[in-house]
């Protein structure tokens, strides 16, 4: 297997940096990380290994403003990340690869579902620990009710970690964008020919495990799987989540190979 760092320009001309694991197969799975994460997420390294052992090639990349990619980190911007995915899909398809699955963890799970709802051109989606109700989880990221109120009043909020180190800046427009992102509507728009695996850990401390069932109620062609005892990052279930994803992708019929768009 050949490993290669591949950079792709997004629609804004910013460089997205990723790692291609080329097994010789033109069947490619694209892996999309979550909030303040990167392509080096241990869960994705494990999933990529299981996929390549199953004969697929994989591409793990950093979204705009994350990891090694160019641009400024931004809170929210779910649709911007869906457009980053579009740039990645177009890049590989133009070069003769067949993108057979988009796999996202946490916020990346939301991004791959949004992509499928808009572009409707992938055979399978894997949503790992995505959040259904984006109105939830905001206070925990922004310093509680006081942080949210300050953001609404000042239009900007700097977020610091527990040690007082600056993490990121949030604009009120970022919060508004998140609140306007409608996962209910997106799920209903995903076509039936796209097979979706929704997976979640029962002990997820960041995103409520019940969210996975909300996705399952609305997506026409989907499977819901809850991994007992797993936390948000599947620290003790790396092999189980990797095997589950690889088995799902392997079960999906291959779409026709497209040499170009």
pLDDT tens for residues 83-101? Answer: 999 999 999 999 999 999 9
Give yes or no: residues 176 and 187 share one domain: no
User: Could you tell me if residue 258 is inside a domain?
Assistant: no
Give the DSSP letter of residue 256.
P
Residue 70 in 3-state DSSP?
coil
Question: What is the tens place of the pLDDT at every residue in 34-79?
Answer: 999 999 999 999 999 999 999 999 999 999 999 999 999 989 899 9
User: Could you tell me if residue 190 is inside a domain?
Assistant: yes
User: Could you tell me if residue 170 is inside a domain?
Assistant: yes
Angle of helix 144-154 relative to helix 172-180, nearest 10 degrees, comes to 110
Domain boundary among 122, 148, 180: 180
Q: Is 25 exposed, middle or buried (0-12, 13-18, 19+ CB in 10 A)?
A: middle
Work out the angle at residue 65's Cα, subtended by the Cα atoms of residues 15 and 162, and round it to the nearest 5 degrees: 160
User: Could you tell me if residue 242 is inside a domain?
Assistant: yes
According to DSSP, the β-strands at 2-9 and 15-22 are antiparallel
Domain boundary among 153, 180, 207: 180
Give yes or no: residues 158 and 213 share one domain: no
User: Could you tell me if residue 261 is inside a domain?
Assistant: no
Give yes or no: residues 54 and 160 share one domain: no
| Structural domain that includes position 107 | 2-134+182-251
Give yes or no: residues 107 and 186 share one domain: yes
Give yes or no: residues 33 and 111 share one domain: yes
Question: What is the tens place of the pLDDT at every residue in 13-42?
Answer: 999 999 999 999 999 999 999 999 999 999
Two tokens, residue 149: 């109120």
Whether 143 shows a pLDDT value over 60: the answer reads yes
Helix and strand counts by DSSP (H, E) for the chain: 9, 10
């Amino acid at each position: 297997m050949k490993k290669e760092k591949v950079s792709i320009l997004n629609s804004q001309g910013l460089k997205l940096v990723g790692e291609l694991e080329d097994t010789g197969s033109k069947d490619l799975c694209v892996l999309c990380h979550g909030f303040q994460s990167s392509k080096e997420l241990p869960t994705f390294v494990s999933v990529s290994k299981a996929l390549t052992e199953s004969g697929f090639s994989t591409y793990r990349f950093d979204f705009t403003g994350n990891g090694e990619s160019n641009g400024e980190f931004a809170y929210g911007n779910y649709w911007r990340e869906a457009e980053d995915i579009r740039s990645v899909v177009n890049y590989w398809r133009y070069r003769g690869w067949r993108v057979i699955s988009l796999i996202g963890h946490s916020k990346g799970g939301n991004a791959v579902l949004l992509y499928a709802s808009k572009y409707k051109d992938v055979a399978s989606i894997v949503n790992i620990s995505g959040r259904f109700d984006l109105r939830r989880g905001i206070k925990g990221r922004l310093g509680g009710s006081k942080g949210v109120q300050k953001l609404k009043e000042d239009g900007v909020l700097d977020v610091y970690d527990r040690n007082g180190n600056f993490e990121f800046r949030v604009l009120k427009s970022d919060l508004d964008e998140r609140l306007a992102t409608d996962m209910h509507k997106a799920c209903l728009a995903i076509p039936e020919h796209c097979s979706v695996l929704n997976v979640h850990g029962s002990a997820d401390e960041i995103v409520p495990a019940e969210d996975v069932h909300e996705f399952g109620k609305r997506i026409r062609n989907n499977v819901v799987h809850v991994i007992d005892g797993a936390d948000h990052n599947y620290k003790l279930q790396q092999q189980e989540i990797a095997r589950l994803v690889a088995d799902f992708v392997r079960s999906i019929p291959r779409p026709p190979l497209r040499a170009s768009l």
